[in-house]
Amino acid sequence: MKSEQTDFEREIAQLLVSSLNLALDPVSIDPEAPLFREGLGLDSIDMLEIALAISQHYGIQMRSDDPENATIFASLRTLAAAIKARRA
């Protein structure tokens, strides 16, 4: 059962799709599905692209030494939550 996107998650989904130029409807991204490998099939270079887009749009710097990197980029939901928390 696919979970529904919140408004903010939809905004981040749109950012993912535009920054990676994915041939994909942002609304169709399951917020709880893994972004990498078996989920959306993204890899570490895509993740860098996303991190750069996020810092450009929201002014949040993702750091290489952040121990939470793996959890932040787990899914659309965790990513949106992390951006929200850091922006606040």
Partner 1 sequence: MAEAWFEKRERGSGWGLRIGRTLALALGRRAGRALLWPITAYFFCFLREGRVGLRRYYEALEGHPPSVAALFAHYLTFARTILDRAYLLARHPDAPPYDIRGFEAVSPFLGQGRGAVLLGAHLGSFDAARAAASLRPDLKVQVIMNVGVSRKLNEALRVLDPGAQDSILSLGGAASLLRVKEILADGGLVGLMGDRPLGGELTYEAEFLGRMARFPLGPLRLAATLQVPVFFFTALYRKAASGACRYELVFEPLCGPAPEVALRGEWMRRLGERYVDTLQAYCRAAPDNWFNFYDFWQAQDVGPPRRATPGDGGPGRVGGRAPMERSDAPRDVGARGER
Structure tokens at 28: 């169709």
Tokens matching residue 86: 């850091």
List of residues 6+ apart from 32 with CB closer than 8 A:
3, 75, 76, 77
CB of 87 within 8 A of CB of 61? no
Given 1, 59, 64, 88, the residue binding partner 1 (CB under 8 A)? 64
Tell me whether residue 52 or residue 85 sits nearer to partner 1 (CB atom): 52
Q: Rule CB under 8 A: is residue 12 a binding residue for partner 1?
A: no
Residue 38 binds to partner 1 (criterion: CB under 8 A): yes
Closest to partner 1 by CB, 14 or 39: 39
For residues 14 to 33, the per-residue mask of contacts with partner 1, x marking binding by CB under 8 A and - elsewhere, is ----xxxxxxx---xx----
Q: Which amino acid is at 54?
A: I
Q: Which residues, including other chains, have CB under 8 Å from residue 12's CB and lie 6 or more apart?
A: 76, 79, 80, 83
Residues that bind partner 1 (CB under 8 A): 18-24, 28-29, 38-42, 44-45, 47-49, 51-52, 62-66, 69-70, 73
